[in-house]
Amino acid sequence: MEKLVIEGGVPLKGNVRISGAKNAALPLMAATLLAPGEHVLRNVPDLRDTRTLLRLMGNMGVKSRREDDVLYIDSTNLEHAEAPYELVKTMRASVLVLGPLVARLGRARVSRPGGCAIGARPIDFHIMGLEHLGVRCTLEDGYVDAVVDSELTGNVVYFDIPSVTGTENLLMAAVLAKGQTVLKNAAREPEIENLIDMLNSMGAKISGRGSDKLIIDGVESLTPADATIIPDRIEAGTYLIAIAASGGCGTVTHCNPGHLPSLLEKLRHAGLLVTETEDSITIGFPDKEGDIERHISGVDIKTAPYPGYPTDLQAQFMALMTLSGGNSVIKETIFENRFMHVAELHRMGAQIKIDGRTALVSGLGLNSLDGAQVMATDLRASSSLVIAGLAARGRTEISRIYHLERGYENLIEKLTGLGARVWKEAE
């Protein structure tokens, strides 16, 4: 096992190029199961999670090859409609094969994911939705056995809470169902729009893109896609926060500022100078009469479905708030156990109190954290520890970095390009 070592205290400076979004790449890759033939996916990040999904699809008979950031996926010989526990337990998003498998083959056997480091994360909405479309789901030996007895048929599906992968799974099933499906209270994340664009380019008929009501008129068959993955808004947000926390200034490029409405406003409220172009965001501290004022104000956040503040940027913002000159109230409304980074941030000197799903952060000012040995618990918690380590005085060692490798492409190279002192060492 490897650990990440950071010698903190260097203000980050320069440009960093954002990769394709993990959470868009995964559903778009799964959508290639819907139509036989060779699909082309561009701007696909090379991550542990995208490799896991390719391995899972490979077990089903799908062939794939990568040339730089382009994936060629041939799903002509799709045979085994099974997602085994060994793969699903390492990546919950494996459940995204359920919708396309029942649509194309009329059956699927997918392991139930079980809990994870951020909460129970049930898949009851996915199952309920598929049952509304005429899929018979039985739960046995830890697996969901899904069978279409006669034919997949459109229906109205209402989500109690907008679910990102739930909406994606239902979209992928409904495109080949007979008749019309209406998804109500659907999730509206940009990754869903990316999937809708790909499915429509394959011949699907989906309207309502960008709203919480999606209407899908089923079609007989689809053709292979040539689609491009949108930039990773969570990666972009993570680097923006890292630059601010280190007291630096820099630009994230090849991103879509329109996908980060809430974060950019919160950063501005915290006193940071944030400017946007069509595909880049620059962050730094304001210049007050010739002096750069390196001060961050305490700002409250509450996570919410898009376009609210993303839960996937909550841990990183908390690391930033430990460096503010004030107090911050952070409410996590999406997952019940997403404060695992707090105990690790305490080890670095942060002052945070937890009360249920609320964290009260007393900022101690920039340069107030000290390097320490800490442990990564999940992907985004790990990136908050990286941010804290970059801002801290001295050496931080983060163990279990495989979590980071699930979602941040070329993390060390990108941080080094911004001037950070960071490297991997054997544990």
Given the rule CB under 6 A, which residues bind ligand EPU?
23, 26, 93, 119, 121-126, 161, 163-166, 187, 311-312, 334-335, 379-380, 407
Catalytic annotation, pick one of 116, 137, 249, 255: 116
Starting from the edge strand earliest in sequence, which strands make up the sheet with 273-276, in order? 13-17, 249-253, 280-284, 273-276
Q: How far is the CB of 192 from ligand EPU (least distance, A)?
A: 9
Q: How far is the CB of 59 from ligand EPU (least distance, A)?
A: 19
Please answer whether residues 329 and 360 qualify as being in contact, where contact means their C-beta atoms are separated by less than 8 angstroms.
yes
Tokens at 362, concatenated: 């007393």
Please answer whether residues 118 and 146 qualify as being in contact, where contact means their C-beta atoms are separated by less than 8 angstroms.
no
Name which of 117 and 273 has its Cβ closer to ligand EPU. 117
Helix (H) or strand (E) holding 340: helix 340-347
Name which of 99 and 247 has its Cβ closer to ligand EPU. 99
Q: How far is the CB of 333 from ligand EPU (least distance, A)?
A: 8
At position 171, the amino acid (one-letter code) is L
What is the C-alpha radius of gyration for the chain, rounded to an integer number of angstroms?
Answer: 22
Helix (H) or strand (E) holding 344: helix 340-347
Name which of 156 and 161 has its Cβ closer to ligand EPU. 161
Strand partners of residue 391: none
Name which of 146 and 392 has its Cβ closer to ligand EPU. 146
Name which of 166 and 248 has its Cβ closer to ligand EPU. 166
Q: How far apart are CA 366 and CA 364, in angstroms?
A: 7
> What are the distances in angstroms from CA 17 to CA 254, 265, 328?
6, 22, 30
Q: How far is the CB of 125 from ligand EPU (least distance, A)?
A: 3
All residues at 6 or more sequence positions from 356 whose CB lies less than 8 Å from its CB, including other chains = none
Q: How far is the CB of 286 from ligand EPU (least distance, A)?
A: 31
State the first-to-last Cα distance of the chain, in angstroms, to the nearest integer: 6
Residue 255 annotated to the active site: no
Q: How far is the CB of 142 from ligand EPU (least distance, A)?
A: 16
DSSP assignment letter at 289: T
Name which of 163 and 368 has its Cβ closer to ligand EPU. 163
Catalytic residues, by residue number, are: 116
